[in-house]
Structure 1
């Protein structure tokens, strides 16, 4: 298992938004807990004013966006290590699978584990697993993301 290259979690909102191309109010990650070349652990506390909140819960679309942005945060930190000053823009190319077992409530803290499965040129296959505060898996996905220069 690769060693976590972060000495401390990154929680500063300005730093997080410098590492991803998304901007407020469309930011769905707020912490980078761990980073290795192929894996990352992110966090997100669902804000009560989130744009994809429905009846006090983060919508399915919001949960999928959180998983994609978790990958984006991993990628952005990787880029910052190699001297990039601006994160590359990416988008979801294909969602191969997604399973949503429950929707997180406003105020709930999520922890998401991402892993790069394989990469060919600018297409990355990634898996994500979202857990709630009790460590229960609430969503999983496998998707292909496309990075544009």
Structure 2
């Protein structure tokens, strides 16, 4: 897969900043779906003993959802919104990726109710095996009007 955007170009779409950025590539963006990528580096704050920890996988899925919201806002001529995890359900962690591996994460928005996005998220390894998945409920803070 070749990235559409990568590195610091993604920072305009997500509220997170270094050293807590858990998406480094955008591979796909459609109406209700986004696919991000992340290469696991030793300096990643959520790496321990050479492995991206469970919290890193969940944060990667949440930041992929944030990337979707930021891309959608940019298409509407707005700034990237700030989102907060309102709930996580059905978490399954199959395997922790090691330093040097690249993962890709698919988030599909299954519903949007008021200011809450409900998303199905899954992380895949280089061999396309699923490493983790969950359902995310994300509260999207509305952009405040200036004035």
Asked if TM exceeds 0.5, the reply is yes
What is residue 73 of structure 2 aligned with on the other side? 79
Deviation sequence 1:38-81 (CA, Å, 0-9, x none)? 01111111111000111010010011000000111111111111
Picking from 115, 119, 132, the partner of 2:112 is 119
**Where in structure 2 are the equivalents of 1:35-50 lying within 5 Å?**
35-50=29-44
Q: Give the gaps of 5 or more residues in structure 1.
A: 1-7
Q: CA RMSD in A?
A: 1.3
What is residue 16 of structure 1 aligned with on the other side? 10
**Where has structure 1 moved over 6 Å in runs of 4 or more?**
none
Alpha-carbon separation, structure 2, partners of 1:107 and 1:144: 30
Alpha-carbon separation, structure 1, partners of 2:99 and 2:46: 11
What is residue 148 of structure 1 aligned with on the other side? 141
What is residue 50 of structure 2 aligned with on the other side? 56
Figure out how many residues of one structure are paired with residues of the other and give that number: 141
Q: Give the gaps of 5 or more residues in structure 2.
A: 143-147
